[in-house]
Chains A and B, each alone.
Chain A
Amino acid sequence: GESVGLHLPTLSVQEGDNSIINCAYSNSASDYFIWYKQESGKGPQFIIDIRSNMDKRQGQRVTVLLNKTVKHLSLQIAATQPGDSAVYFCAEAPRGQGAQKLVFGQGTRLTINP
């Protein structure tokens, strides 16, 4: 029979436009959140992180927003470039014992159109 694989959400944007990638996390007690970027053939690469006592953090061309009320995390990428094409994962670290054991989302595939 036909195999069933993960169906990654996909976001396609025009080069130069801004991208917003969303993530719903599961544990209201999570204390720390990370966004990773995974390019084809490579391991996940750290982009930006945010602690639960913040609601926004900015990096170079990237901004992470945290809404604890609805357990939602987003990654905004400004002026997207071809090199931004990748799968983006959010990850959460639960508070207390086991905090080192990150829980990863399924990922979103970002495609940049020329």
Chain B
Amino acid sequence: DAGVIQSPRHEVTEMGQEVTLRCKPISGHDYLFWYRQTMMRGLELLIYFNNNVPIDDSGMPEDRFSAKMPNASFSTLKIQPSEPRDSAVYFCASSFGKTSESRQFTQYFGPGTRLTVL
């Protein structure tokens, strides 16, 4: 398996522009998570999905952030408009979630997207 795939790996944009981050979870995983990591705040959960349905978006900073999962193999995190304080590394992770699996809670992370907003 290729693992969780994220694109782009690096994104540099100007304040006010729309940014879209993409994620392909591991095939067969039922859960997908979006995290943000900064030196100031560490690793923060933004939102997670179960079977393509958003379950908990309480970590989404504000209305400028939105996430979708149109199918089991693709999710996007969009920031519109972007601001310099959104600069961070954004990770996508997925997990099995099935009780029959010994590692049902283990989340497997992608390589991340490093976002810089100027």
Q: Which of B11-19, B62-70, B76-84, B100-108 participates in binding chain A?
A: B100-108
Assess A43 versus B48: contact at CB under 8 Å? Given A5-B40, A6-B40, A99-B105: no
A23 contacts chain B at the CB level, 8 A cutoff: no
Query: Considering the chains assembled together, what is the distance between the CA atoms of A45 and B103 in angstroms?
Result: 14
Chain B residues near A106 (CB-CB < 8 A): 42
Within 8 Å by CB of A42, from B48, B106, B112, lies: B112
Report the bound CA distance from A46 to B52 in whole Å. Answer: 24
Known contacts being A100-B48, A101-B48, is A49 close to B41, with CB within 8 Å? no
In the complex, the chain B residue whose C-beta lies closest to that of A5 is B39
The docked-state distance in angstroms from the alpha carbon of A32 to that of B99 is 13
User: Could you say which interface size class chain A belongs to?
Assistant: 20 to 34
Let me know if B105 and A34 touch, CB within 8 A.
Answer: yes
Distance, CA A34 to CA B93, complexed state (A): 14
Q: Check A43–B110 contact: CB distance below 8 A.
A: yes
Within 8 A of B (CB), among A4-48: 4-6, 32, 34, 36, 42-46
Q: How far is the CA of A86 from the CA of B7 in the complex (A)?
A: 24
> B43 — which chain A residues lie within 8 A by C-beta?
44, 89, 104, 107
Query: Which of A6, A32, A89, A107 contacts B105, CB < 8 Å?
Result: A32
With a CB–CB cut-off of 8 A, which chain A residues contact B97?
100
Q: Within B10-42, which residues are at the interface with A (CB < 8 Å)?
A: 31, 39-42
Which residues of the partner chain B approach A36 to less than 8 Å between Cβ atoms?
A: 109
Which residue in A6, A43, A99, A100 is a CB contact (below 8 Å) of B109? A43
Contact of B40 among A3, A46, A107 (CB under 8 A): A3
Pick 18 A–B contacts, CB within 8 A, sort by A: A6-B39, A34-B106, A36-B109, A43-B4, A43-B91, A43-B110, A44-B43, A44-B91, A44-B109, A45-B109, A46-B107, A91-B107, A100-B105, A101-B45, A101-B48, A101-B56, A102-B45, A107-B43
The residues of B with any CB-CB pair to A shorter than 8 Å are 4, 31, 39-43, 45, 48, 50, 56, 91, 93, 95, 97, 103, 105-112
A: residues with CB less than 8 A from B are 3-6, 32, 34, 36, 42-46, 49, 89, 91, 93, 98-102, 104, 106-107
